[in-house]
């Protein structure tokens, strides 16, 4: 996860602080609305839920399909608007279910078209999603956790404590909020504004595997949001044991937060490297299902002045990718500073030289234009600004403590 990714401040922390392989989900405080939220329910789960409220078996499949279409193709949040659903069924749906949206605490629009949303969920925790428009696409960067355990040192998110994993519904809801804001309803293939998804927001998606998988299956479902897996990228800091499952069970594109070409430097920048070494990570990349020259793995590489940006680093990067025969593309990310960050961005001519060296070896290494810098939405800058201004920090602390 690292388009928006960045790093934390616990670099000297012992290995134990890196967290378990799949962190335990901390309990959510109860929502005040007791009705079940149908966002994030798989179609089969919705069918079962309909049976449980007395929808006849012979109708349940059709009703689930109708409801999904209203929800994911039309953005409807009120069952009463579902005109092809029988009136008595609508009443029962309203009694038992809801179709929720997180509260938009803050929406910032950058001069370059980037939009950043600070969202508050039912228990008061908050996470961010960022929409980045380009000429031929609109990419939504989605968070998978509130906070992050990994403390990558260049990452602002990494300075937050992990509060909890987001639920499938909360992950899908980030897309729904963006589509509401962008006026994408009724959705059709012609008017899509969110054409791509990157799981690169707050959190390590492979530490919340089950929920991310469930959410992405809804996003890919032909009756759901209908986004092709080729348009979805999951970015990991290198949770090696989960990478194969990600390829086999979700099948989306893979991005890896690499950022260094030897263990010594990577140990510092991405502390998870102390647990899963660079060689293991490269082997897991080589084994990732479905990669070939037309579907390459993206390696994110943040340019840090005097840390990982030398000519020797560029040559070692080429050697590393070649040694493991990886169909690779490297994204060079000029470091986006944030208050208190321990690094500086490499000089521009250094970044260009680095890019040239990698390009000349036959590996694509574009320099990613920083987006949304003016609203702190760029790579590595995500951190709920609410932290400073809201008492939800207290809630986070409590939740983090409850988790230990
Ligand atoms: S894994 Fe966590 S700390 Fe590392 S870049 Fe991603 S959000 Fe930041």
Task: Check whether residue 194 and residue 49 sit in a common domain.
Answer: no
pLDDT at 236 over 70: yes
Structural domain contains residue 5:
no
- Confirm or reject: Cβ of 336 under 6 Å from ligand 1: no
Structural domain contains residue 400:
no
- Confirm or reject: Cβ of 2 under 6 Å from ligand 1: yes
Tell me the average pLDDT across 386-402.
39
pLDDT at 8 over 60: no
State in Å: Cα 268 to ligand 1 middle: 13
pLDDT at 11 over 80: no
Out of 98, 119, 139, a domain closes at 98
Q: How many domains does the chain have?
A: 2
pLDDT at 9 over 80: no
State in Å: Cα 301 to ligand 1 middle: 13
Structural domain contains residue 15:
no
CA nearest ligand 1 atom 4, residue: 152
* pLDDT at position 175: 97
Task: Check whether residue 82 and residue 128 sit in a common domain.
Answer: no
- Confirm or reject: Cβ of 5 under 6 Å from ligand 1: yes
Work out the pLDDT band at 339, boundaries 50, 70, 90.
confident
Q: How far is CA 10 from the centre of its chain?
A: 22
Task: Check whether residue 146 and residue 65 sit in a common domain.
Answer: no
Task: Check whether residue 269 and residue 360 sit in a common domain.
Answer: yes
* pLDDT at position 404: 25
Domain of residue 109: give its range. 101-392
Beta-bridge partner residues of 299: 256, 330
Task: Check whether residue 107 and residue 91 sit in a common domain.
Answer: no
Structural domain contains residue 271:
yes
Ligand 1 atom at minimal distance to the Cα of residue 200: 6
State in Å: Cα 227 to ligand 1 middle: 25
Residue 344 tokens read as 């500086």
* pLDDT at position 377: 61
The 3-class SS string of 173-209 reads HHHHHHHHHHCCCCCCCCCCCCCEEEECCCCCHHHHH
Tell me the average pLDDT across 35-63.
95
* pLDDT at position 397: 37
Structural domain contains residue 19:
no
- Confirm or reject: Cβ of 144 under 6 Å from ligand 1: no
Ligand 1 atom at minimal distance to the Cα of residue 8: 3
Task: Check whether residue 239 and residue 194 sit in a common domain.
Answer: yes
pLDDT at 63 over 70: yes
Ligand 1 atom at minimal distance to the Cα of residue 155: 8
CATH number for the domain including 68?
A: 1.10.150.530
pLDDT in tens, 89-121: 999 999 999 999 999 999 999 888 999 999 999
Q: Which of 154-168, 176-190, 192-206, 320-334 has the lowest mean pLDDT?
A: 154-168
Out of 98, 120, 146, a domain closes at 98
pLDDT in tens, 354-379: 999 999 999 999 998 777 666 666 55
State in Å: Cα 86 to ligand 1 middle: 47
pLDDT in tens, 268-296: 999 999 999 999 999 999 999 988 888 89
Structural domain contains residue 17:
no
pLDDT in tens, 157-175: 777 787 899 999 999 999 9
* pLDDT at position 23: 41
Task: Check whether residue 70 and residue 219 sit in a common domain.
Answer: no
Among residues 387, 270, 393, the alpha carbon closest in space to that of 6 is found at 270
- Confirm or reject: Cβ of 151 under 6 Å from ligand 1: yes
Task: Check whether residue 284 and residue 216 sit in a common domain.
Answer: yes
Q: Nearest-5° angle of CA 403, CA 177, CA 236? A: 50
* pLDDT at position 401: 33
State in Å: Cα 157 to ligand 1 middle: 6
- Write out the catalytic residue numbers: 128, 379
């Amino acid at each position: 996860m690292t388009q928006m990714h960045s790093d934390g401040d616990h670099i000297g922390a012992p290995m134990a602080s890196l967290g378990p392989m799949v962190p335990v989900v901390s309990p959510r405080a109860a929502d005040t609305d007791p009705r079940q939220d149908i966002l994030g329910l798989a179609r089969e789960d919705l069918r079962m839920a309909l049976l449980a409220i007395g929808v006849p078996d012979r109708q349940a499949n059709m009703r689930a399909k109708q409801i999904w279409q209203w929800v994911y193709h039309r953005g409807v949040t009120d069952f009463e608007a579902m005109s092809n659903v029988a009136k008595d069924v609508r009443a029962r749906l309203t009694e038992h279910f809801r179709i929720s949206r997180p509260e938009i605490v803050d929406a910032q629009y950058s001069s370059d078209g980037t939009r950043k949303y600070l969202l508050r969920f039912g228990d008061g925790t908050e996470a961010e999603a960022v929409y980045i428009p380009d000429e031929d696409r609109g990419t939504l960067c989605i968070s998978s956790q509130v906070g992050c355990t990994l403390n990558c040192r260049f990452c602002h998110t990494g300075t937050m404590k992990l509060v909890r994993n987001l639920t499938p519904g909360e992950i899908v809801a980030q897309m729904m909020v963006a589509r509401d804001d962008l006026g994408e309803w009724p959705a059709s293939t012609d008017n899509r504004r969110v054409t791509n998804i990157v799981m690169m927001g707050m959190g390590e998606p492979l530490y919340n595997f089950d929920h991310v998988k469930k959410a992405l299956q809804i996003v890919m479902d032909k009756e759901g949001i209908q986004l092709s897996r080729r348009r979805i990228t999951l970015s990991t800091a290198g949770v090696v044991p989960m990478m194969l499952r990600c390829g086999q069970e979700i099948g989306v594109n893979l991005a890896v937060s690499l950022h260094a070409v030897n263990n010594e430097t990577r140990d510092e920048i991405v502390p998870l490297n102390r647990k899963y070494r660079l060689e293991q990570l490269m082997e897991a990349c080589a084994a990732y299902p479905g990669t070939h020259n037309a579907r390459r793995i993206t390696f994110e590489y943040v340019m840090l002045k005097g840390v990982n940006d030398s000519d020797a680093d560029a040559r070692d990067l080429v050697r590393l990718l070649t040694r493991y025969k990886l169909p690779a593309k490297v994204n060079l990310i000029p470091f986006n500073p944030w208050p208190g960050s321990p690094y500086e961005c490499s000089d521009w001519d250094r970044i260009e030289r680095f890019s040239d060296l990698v390009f000349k070896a036959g590996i694509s290494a574009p320099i990613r234009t920083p987006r949304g810098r003016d609203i702190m939405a760029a790579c590595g800058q995500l951190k709920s600004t609410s932290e400073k201004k809201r008492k939800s920090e207290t809630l986070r602390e409590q939740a983090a403590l409850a988790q230990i």
